[in-house]
Structure 1
Amino acid sequence: MMNVLSAQDKQRWRQDGYLVLPGFFEQAATEEMLGRARQLLDEFDVEGHPLTTFKTEADGEHVGDDYFIGSNDKIRYFLEPSSLSKPAPGAPSKLLVPPAQSINKIGHALAQLDPVFRKYTLENEKVANVAKDLGYHQSPRVLQSMIICKQPRIGGVVPSHNDSTFLYTDPPSAVGCWIALEECTPQNGCLSFLPGSHKTARVSSRFVKDPSGRGTTFESVAGVEPNEEKWDELDGWVEAACPAGTLVLIHGNVMHRSPPNPSDKSRLIYTFHMIEGAEGYTYDEKNWLQPTKDMPFPALF
């Protein structure tokens, strides 16, 4: 095994709850992923699409139709809400931008089904070695692989949140691997983090399938008191601007967010998550994203 992370990297990860690794992917690899992402965008066919949008409210209305729930073992397209018209009651929505520029994200099984993203996720020795170096999982399982677009001028805000709320295990174990396919700046919607918040942010709610069958909802986690902090009002947020080819590791409890993209430049990224697959960690049937018999969550190593 080749070590990828230095002792200083590991200390920064433990201290801050995230780690920015510029140059993790060489230019050729980054361009291959970016080219494939743009190809998928160009292949989007709006004909017959349910026009499912992806809403990012951390505790409010959220996407949850069958098209979303059924994306666990497929590659599907989710639209930016502001890419659609707001028609009169009973009238259909229409795209306000070209189809390729309307997409918020593509997911959620790219790592399993797309040969390019599989190459840089499940078949990538350097990715496996950085996860081993991190030492956070005994048996990491990969899930929720997706392209997130932040389209020019219409890319929406992502409010402060932590990922374990959306990919809940008992106890929490999520880690995000976030890869910049283009330069990410404050102007086009780079990530911001509240360093150290993974040590105090409690996972007190979880994103689940609505028991009524109507999509998704948030459910309180028994025995966990919600934090009283209003995260957005706290001082200390740090912008994580980064060049293309950067890998950002994100602890499942750390609070992070991103602003809208009013610029003329897109901010395409590829991301996937890991959860602990070892004994003693439960990922249950309440979670919105489910493995299937034919496509279980694959092991990274």
Structure 2
Amino acid sequence: MQLARSPHDRLEADGFLVIPGFVDAGAIASLRARAQEIVEAFDPGASRAIFTTRDEAKTKSDAYFLESGSAIRCFFEEEAFDERGMLRRPKAQSINKIGHAVHDLDPVFEAFSHGAHLQALAHALGLENPRVYQSMYIFKQPHIGGEVRWHQDATYFVTEPQTVTTFWFALERADRSNGCLWVQRGGHRTALRERFVVDERGPRAEVLDPTPWPSQDEAEPVEVEAGTLVVFHGLLPHYSAPNRSARSRHAYTLHAVDGRAHYAATNWLQRGASLPVRGF
């Protein structure tokens, strides 16, 4: 009789693990309602920052993004504006994501993001001293939901040793029609290809390893129902295609590292004494 693998063993073997039914319908409704309230309160006149992975050094070079690690800020889809700079759709259908400290600064998201169940899972995955640096509420809007290119999350959260782990909560069904995640099973055993650095020279992506990104034959769709939790190893290559369907693909993500590891001073997201990073 073959014993079931532990969460840690599954993550180490495949680079990701899927846990159906982790989030109940009530929690999903609460997060979605609160995200809608945040968007309704957001004034587009305050910023028209977009989120795109096409030119990250440019997109992530302004203070609105670089200071969002200690704030709650909205970012537009890259196709949200027309050639005159006007929104093509209502504001609520134009926001790409809310980031990046909603898990610590909003009471609804804080209650969801910190608790014994997540702490226990983090420990089971090998994060003995988890520290949650980033949260994102991702809308993947109908018709204009942007592509997220192949990447590894460790690019943005460099630690020594590598410990960043992603917790991705599906708040709607995600499938190939509305831009689900795609992964390279076992790809976490490849090298870190890029590192996103912020220092006195400014923000930039540095190429560390020329290994090509996976081909379509190596890509595996992660189609899941609402309430599913998908956990990613920090070195796992993954991407999501544009959403051209009439359905959104809401998700909520947390990025955690092990506090025992050295967190690079050149990582874009740094927390000061006014908002110290904490665990689950």
- TM-score, with length taken from structure 1: 0.87
| Equivalent position to 1:143, from 133, 154, 159 | 133
CA distance in structure 1 between the aligned counterparts of 2:18 and 2:70, rounded to whole angstroms: 29
1:5-154, aligned counterparts within 5 Å?
Answer: 7=5, 9-47=7-45, 49-57=46-54, 61-87=58-84, 93-122=85-114, 124-135=115-126, 137-154=127-144
Between the aligned residues of both structures, percent identity stands at 38
CA distance in structure 2 between the aligned counterparts of 1:245 and 1:184, rounded to whole angstroms: 11
**If each structure's strand is expressed as a fraction of its own residues, which one has the higher value?**
2
Show the counterpart of 1:162. 152
Counterpart of 1:51, as a letter, is: R
CA contact (8 A) 1:58 1:161 kept: no
1:122-141 residue CA offsets vs partner (Å, 9 max, x unmatched): 2x211111111112x22111
CA contact (8 A) 1:194 1:255 kept: yes
Shift of 1:299: 2.0
CA contact (8 A) 1:145 1:270 kept: yes
CA distance in structure 2 between the aligned counterparts of 1:9 and 1:241, rounded to whole angstroms: 19
CA contact (8 A) 1:53 1:63 kept: no
Counterpart of 1:219, as a letter, is: E
Aligned residue pair count:
277
- TM-score, with length taken from structure 2: 0.93
CA contact (8 A) 2:184 2:214 kept: no
Choose 37-46 or 56-65, whichever is displaced more.
Answer: 56-65
- Does the C-alpha gap of structure 1 residues 16 and 267 become closer, same or farther in structure 2, counting only changes over 3 Å? same
RMSD: 1.8
| 2:276 is the counterpart of 1:287 | no
1:87-114 residue CA offsets vs partner (Å, 9 max, x unmatched): 4xxxxx2222111111111111011011
CA distance in structure 2 between the aligned counterparts of 1:120 and 1:159, rounded to whole angstroms: 28
Shift of 1:295: 0.8
For residue 159 of structure 2, give the secondary structure of its aligned residue in structure 1: coil
CA distance in structure 1 between the aligned counterparts of 2:198 and 2:227, rounded to whole angstroms: 34
For residue 129 of structure 1, give the secondary structure of its aligned residue in structure 2: helix
Query: Unaligned 5+ residue runs, structure 2?
Result: none
Shift of 1:287: 1.3
Counterpart of 2:197, as a letter, is: V
Query: Unaligned 5+ residue runs, structure 1?
Result: 1-5, 88-92
Counterpart of 2:195, as a letter, is: R
CA contact (8 A) 2:167 2:254 kept: yes
- Does the C-alpha gap of structure 1 residues 45 and 207 become closer, same or farther in structure 2, counting only changes over 3 Å? same
CA contact (8 A) 1:153 1:262 kept: yes
